[in-house]
Amino acid sequence: MTEIMMNSLNILAVGILLASLMAMTTPRMGQLIRIFTLQSLMLACMAALVGYHTGSEHLYIIASIIVLLKVFIIPRFLNYSIERIKVKRELEPLLGIPGSLLLSAAIVVLAYFVTEPVISLTEVITRNCLAISLAVTLIGLLLMITRRKAMTEVIGLLMMENGLFLAVISTSHGMPLIVEMGIFFDVLVAVIIMGMFAFRINETFETSDTSILKRLRY
């Protein structure tokens, strides 16, 4: 792998991680969706670059599907949803923004620590990308846990999926095409169903703040 290729893949991977951290800092919905779109775009670029490096065309197909789905269709659907639910701003997160940021930094350290003993991935770029993908996944999970609005939870889930795709692209240069297609389809349907349920929550409870979902206790 050429030096430039390695460098640009590194930069893109760190960019994806940065997008996750930026998502942690912003309480505004519109900005969150834009950050997600940016992250997906960087992911698609990475897929295309890896496809160029390994010469496998199906990564190009995957890159274009990522662009179509996660840069156009899903953000449009999310924007439509937040307009219908009329939620513009997130409430104060559980930890506060500095706390969430520090926890995310700790997660990144943890991710590198956990993937340290994976020695069979001989290319250094792959180990780094695996660690970053784990970090992005866990930060997406943190986003879901600490935020209270329903749509933010959906966006957190989508960021987790981004992290997973990074893992797929970097460790295995893309899984068999039919599996990838199935995963994309699943993600799309999942987002639509979650959007519908977010509407229902808003209709039933007059708010999309999920911390009021406390009726079912023990």
Partner 1 sequence: MMVSLLLCTPLVFALFCASAPSNRWVGRLSLLGLGLVLIQVLDLSYGVIQNGPLDAGMWYIDDISVIFLLLMAVISFLVGIYALSYIGHELHEGVLTPRDSRFYHVFIQLFLFTMLLVLVVDSLGLMWIAIESTTLASAFLVGFYKKEESVEAAWKYIMICSVGIALALMGVTLMYASSLDVFGDSSRALDWSVLKGVAATLDPTLLKLSFIFIIAGYGTKAGLAPMHTWLPDAHSQAPSPVSAMMSALLLNCAMYGIIRFHVIIEAAVPCFSSSLLLGFGLVSVAVAALFISITTDLKRMLAYSSIEHMGIVAIAMGIGGTWGTVGAVIHIAAHSLTKSMLFLSAGDIVQKYGTRDIASITGVLKSIPWSGRFFTAGCLGIVGLPPFPIFLGEAIIVYAALQSGDFLVAALFLVLLLMVFVAFTYRFVPMLGGDSGLEPSPSPLSRLLPMGILLIMGLALGLVLPGPVLEFLQDVAAQIGGVL
Partner 2 sequence: MDYSLFIITTLQFLALLVSAPAAVGLIRLLKARAQGRRGASLLQPYRDLRKLWRKDEQVSEDASWLFRVAPLISAASVILTASMLPVLHVTVLGPGSDMILAIYILMLARAILVLSSLEGGSVFGGMGGSRDSMISVLIEPALLLSIFSLAALAGSTELSSTAQFISQGGYLIIGPTLILAAASFCITTLAENARLPFDNPATHLELTMVHEAMVLEYSGRSLALMEYSSWLKLTVFITILVNGFLPWGISSTLDPLSLALAFVAFMFKLILALGLIALLESQMAKMRLFRLPNLLTTSFTLALLALMAFYIL
Q: For residue 86, count CB atoms less than 10 angstroms from its CB and return exposed for 0-12, middle for 13-18, buried for 19 or more.
A: exposed
Half-sphere exposure of 163 (CA within 13 A, CB side): 27
Q: Is 39:161 a contact under the CB 8 Å cutoff? A: no
5 interface partner picked from partner 1, partner 2, none, CB below 5 to 8 A per type: none
Residue 149 is classified by DSSP as: B
Residue 90 is classified by DSSP as: P
Q: Is 24:146 a contact under the CB 8 Å cutoff? A: no
Footprint of partner 2 on this chain (CB under 8 A)? 3-4, 7, 10-11, 13-14, 17-18, 21, 25, 97-98, 101-102, 104-105, 108-109, 112, 124, 128, 131
Contact set for partner 1, span 30-69 (CB under 8 A): 56
95 interface partner picked from partner 1, partner 2, none, CB below 5 to 8 A per type: none
Alpha helices in 147-176 (DSSP H): 150-172
Choose among 28, 45, 48, 40: nearest CA to 72. Answer: 40
Options 73, 114, 207, 209; binder of partner 1; rule CB under 8 A:
114
We find the least distance from the C-beta atom of residue 149 to partner 1, in angstroms, to be 12
The residues binding partner 1 (CB under 8 A) are 56, 114-115, 117-121, 133-134, 137, 141, 144, 150, 153, 157, 160-161, 164, 167-168, 171-173, 175-179, 182-183, 185-186, 189-190, 193-194, 197, 200-201, 204-205, 210, 213, 215-216, 218
